[in-house]
Amino acid sequence: MRLDSYDLKILRILQSNGRITKSSLAEAISLSISPCWERVKRLEEAGIICGYGAQLNTEILFKRAAVMVEISLKQHSREAFQRFERAMLDCPEVTECYATGGGIDYIVKVMARDIDQYQRLIDRWLMADLGIERYFTYIVTKTIKRSEPPLLLDGEED
């Protein structure tokens, strides 16, 4: 699907304000409401817009311990990666998981009730034989920035 400048404007606006009204969105991109909304529906149907939601400040709702974990696996086979990744997908405490190149295989963000719960989770992973060779734990003491990056296209400047 090719995106034109109107589509990109819509995506930028919705990324920062998913609750904008149809008329305000149309006005912001200089289109009438009907063609603007047809574009939004097309972007949704194409899967480019995959949902809308509220960003919650979970630190106000409940205290959690945020932990970043660097993980290296014993084996580097497709099966070993798949087994580990399935476990991460099935674990509700894992809120982010990134496969990385370089000295480690994965960076995992865990949100646990407390450090004890985190350690019990690690113990379960080790007992489940997910192929973890070593892991390094980093306790998050303060969140400095958390946001989605702005939408940029290839060749476009910041």
Residue 17 falls in which region: left (phi positive, over 0), alpha (psi -120 to 50) or beta? beta
Instruction: Note the pLDDT tens digit of each residue in 122-137.
Output: 999 999 999 999 999 9
Query: What is the strand order of the sheet 65-73 is part of?
Result: 94-99, 106-112, 65-73, 132-139
Burial (Cβ within 10 Å: 0-12, 13-18, ≥19) of residue 148: exposed
Residues of the chain with CATH 3.30.70.920: 58-139
> Domain 58-139 classified CATH 3.30.70.920?
yes
Question: What pLDDT is recorded for position 59?
Answer: 65
Q: Which of 65, 79, 96 is nearest to 130 (CA)?
A: 79
Residue 1: pLDDT band (50, 70, 90) is: confident
Q: Is the pLDDT of residue 24 over 70?
A: yes
**pTM for this entry:** 0.66
Q: Rounded CA gap, 14 and 7, in Å?
A: 11
Residues of the chain with CATH 1.10.10.10: 5-46
Burial (Cβ within 10 Å: 0-12, 13-18, ≥19) of residue 20: middle
What's the mean pLDDT when you consider all of the chain? 90
Question: What pLDDT is recorded for position 87?
Answer: 98
Residue 63: pLDDT band (50, 70, 90) is: confident
> Domain 5-46 classified CATH 3.90.930.60?
no
